[in-house]
Amino acid sequence: MKKTELCARAQSILWSGKITSEDESFLHELIDRHPDAARKIGVGIDHFEIRKNPKFPGNVFWLVRVDGTETDFSYRRCVNGAEPLHRLQGLSALRAVISDQVIDFKRRALTPDARCSLTGASLNEENVHVDHDPPFIEIARAFFEEVGVETIKLAPSGDGQIGRTLLDPEIARRWSDFHRARATLFLTTAKANMSRGARKSPSLVRKPNSLSPRRSEIGNSTQPEGKDNGPETAT
C-alpha cells in the first residue's frame, strides 16, 4: 500500500469506532512500521482498541499488551517512519500549547444556532471541530522558521501520553503569543474539517463563527492539556 492508502485505511477504522478481524491484521502490520515498534509492542500485543482522544475531538488507536499494560500509538508515525519524527512531534507539542485557545474559542462560538463555516451545516458538541485560517501547519512552519526547529525541545514521552509537550516554557510562551497574533479560528463540522478539498482555500469561504484569538480575552498558555482541530496526537 502507498502511504496515502495506509493513512486512508487507518482513518476509516478510527472513524468507524470498531475493529474487525481484518482490521486487527492491518493494525499488526501497521504497528510493525512504527519507528519505536519494539518499545510499543513490548512483551506482545493482545488486542487493539479505539478510544476517544482526551485532548481533542476524534479517536486514537491503543494497543493492550499480553501483560495488561497498554499504550497509544500514532498511525501517522507508523506510516511516515522515523525521518520526520522530530518535526511531527514538534507539531503535536505546538498543538498542545495552544489547545486552551482552541477550547476557549469553541466554548464561546458554539452557540445553539452555530453553523459550519464551510458547509452551513448545523453544529453541536458531537460534530464540531475548530479550524485555522491560515491553516495551522502554515502558522507552525512560520514559527519553526523564526525560532529554528532545533530549538523545539520535547519533554520525554511515556505510555498512554497522548502527544508530546514542549520542554522549554519560554518557547511555549513565544509560540502561544505567535499563534494568538496570527490565527483566526472558525467552526466546522468534523467531516468538513478533514476534507482535503475544504481545506485548500479556507480564506475564501465565509466564516460567520470566526474569531481571532488575538481579539479574544484568552490568557497566556504554557503547557495546557488538550487538538487541535482534529488530527491525532498520539505517539
Residue pLDDT, tens place only, 130-179: 999 999 989 998 998 888 877 788 887 666 666 678 889 999 999 999 99
| Cβ atoms < 10 Å from Cβ of 179 | 25
* Structural domain includes residue 193: yes
| Same domain (yes/no): 93, 209 | yes
| Cβ atoms < 10 Å from Cβ of 93 | 23
Range of the structural domain that residue 54 is part of: 3-80
If one counts the domains in the chain, the total is 2
Cβ atoms 31, 37 nearer than 8 A? yes
CA distance linking residue 151 with residue 130, whole number of Å: 28
Residue 158: per-residue pLDDT: 65
SS3 annotation, 56-107: CCCEEEEEEECCCCEEEECHHHHHHCCCCHHHHHHHHHHHHHCHHHHHHHHH
Cβ atoms 35, 81 nearer than 8 A? yes
Residue 220 predicted with pLDDT over 60 = no
CATH number of the domain bearing residue 20: 3.10.450.40
| Same domain (yes/no): 7, 56 | yes
- Which of helix, strand or coil describes residue 200? coil
| Same domain (yes/no): 65, 109 | no
| Same domain (yes/no): 105, 185 | yes
* Structural domain includes residue 234: no
Cβ atoms 67, 194 nearer than 8 A? no
* Structural domain includes residue 183: yes
| Same domain (yes/no): 57, 39 | yes
Helix (H) or strand (E) holding 10, with range, is helix 3-16
Which value, to the nearest 10 degrees, does the dihedral of the CA atoms of residues 17, 19, 20, 26 take? 130
* Structural domain includes residue 233: no
| Same domain (yes/no): 155, 173 | yes
User: 22-26, 113-117, 202-206, 224-228 — which is least confidently predicted?
Assistant: 224-228
| Same domain (yes/no): 65, 90 | no
| Same domain (yes/no): 173, 116 | yes
| Same domain (yes/no): 59, 149 | no
CA distance linking residue 75 with residue 58, whole number of Å: 14
Band (pLDDT 50/70/90 cuts) for residue 202 is very low
Which of 50, 80, 110 terminates a domain? The answer is 80
| Same domain (yes/no): 173, 95 | yes
| Same domain (yes/no): 202, 109 | yes
| Same domain (yes/no): 94, 178 | yes
51-86 per-position pLDDT tens digit: 988 766 688 999 999 999 999 998 988 887 754 556
